[in-house]
């Protein structure tokens, strides 16, 4: 039986290196791990509690919650925009954190990875994503981290799925997530 991990990517750009990193996670997931790359974050409107009712909830938000309900763990893949995570990823976390007391993230093992042009690989954005997801109830897997610096040059001609080091590190992150699902902390 496979562990199902849902990947949410904080960049909407089709050529995004972070999207490519998520694609590498899908392609190179360890045996017994299935990673699904969520499509559709661009359609999810900004969270507004006034519209979070059965009668008014946007279909895109419902689809996001349904996909999250099928996942056993989450992989958040984020670039760094102005020193923090992009609004699209924060918005996804906001939708998944509601309704209060019923967070789709509650207790779910969650890892945050990413790549950025800077020399630290987007660690500020990753720290903010961990904080936000943790407050939303996710169980942050602290030893499952990956920050790849210099994305613009490192992945200029090489897809992350073809980068041996990046693939090996992604596999470690995914294995740590799967292990946490299989043997939850008490």
C-alpha dihedral, 40 to 45 to 50 to 51, nearest 10°: -40
What pLDDT, on the 0 to 100 scale, is given for residue 185?
Answer: 52
What pLDDT, on the 0 to 100 scale, is given for residue 119?
Answer: 82
Domains and CATH numbers, the chain: 3-182 (3.40.50.360)
Tokens 């039986």 — which residue? Answer: 1
Q: Which of 130, 137, 163, 133 is nearest to 148 (CA)?
A: 163
Kind of pairing, strands 109-115 and 73-77? parallel
Two tokens, residue 161: 């799925």
What pLDDT, on the 0 to 100 scale, is given for residue 121?
Answer: 83
From first to last of its 186 residues, the chain has per-residue pLDDT tens of 799 999 999 999 989 999 999 999 999 999 999 999 999 999 999 999 999 999 999 999 999 999 999 999 999 999 999 999 999 999 999 999 998 778 999 999 999 999 998 887 899 999 999 999 999 999 999 999 999 998 988 898 889 999 999 999 999 999 999 999 976 555
Q: Which of 81, 91, 5 is nearest to 40 (CA)?
A: 91
| Helix/strand/coil percent split, the chain, to 5 | 40, 20, 40
Tokens 């950025």 — which residue? Answer: 116
Which element (helix H / strand E) includes 73? strand 73-77
């Amino acid at each position: 039986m496979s562990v199902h991990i849902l990947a949410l990517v904080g960049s909407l750009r089709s050529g995004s290196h972070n999207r490519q990193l998520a694609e590498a996670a899908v392609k190179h997931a360890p045996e017994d791990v299935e990673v699904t790359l969520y499509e559709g974050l661009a359609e999810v409107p900004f969270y507004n509690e006034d519209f979070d009712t059965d009668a008014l909830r946007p279909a895109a938000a419902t689809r996001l919650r349904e996909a999250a309900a099928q996942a056993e763990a989450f992989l958040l893949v984020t670039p760094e925009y102005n020193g923090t995570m992009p609004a699209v990823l924060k918005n996804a976390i906001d939708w998944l954190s509601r309704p209060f007391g019923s967070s789709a993230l509650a207790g779910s093992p969650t890892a945050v990875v990413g790549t950025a042009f800077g020399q630290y690989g987007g660690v500020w954005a990753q720290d903010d994503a961990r904080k936000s997801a943790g407050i939303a109830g996710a169980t942050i897997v602290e030893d499952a981290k990956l920050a790849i610096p210099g994305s613009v040059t490192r992945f200029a001609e090489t897809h992350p799925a073809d980068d041996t080091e990046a693939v090996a590190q992604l596999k470690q992150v995914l294995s740590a997530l799967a292990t946490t699902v299989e043997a939850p902390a008490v």
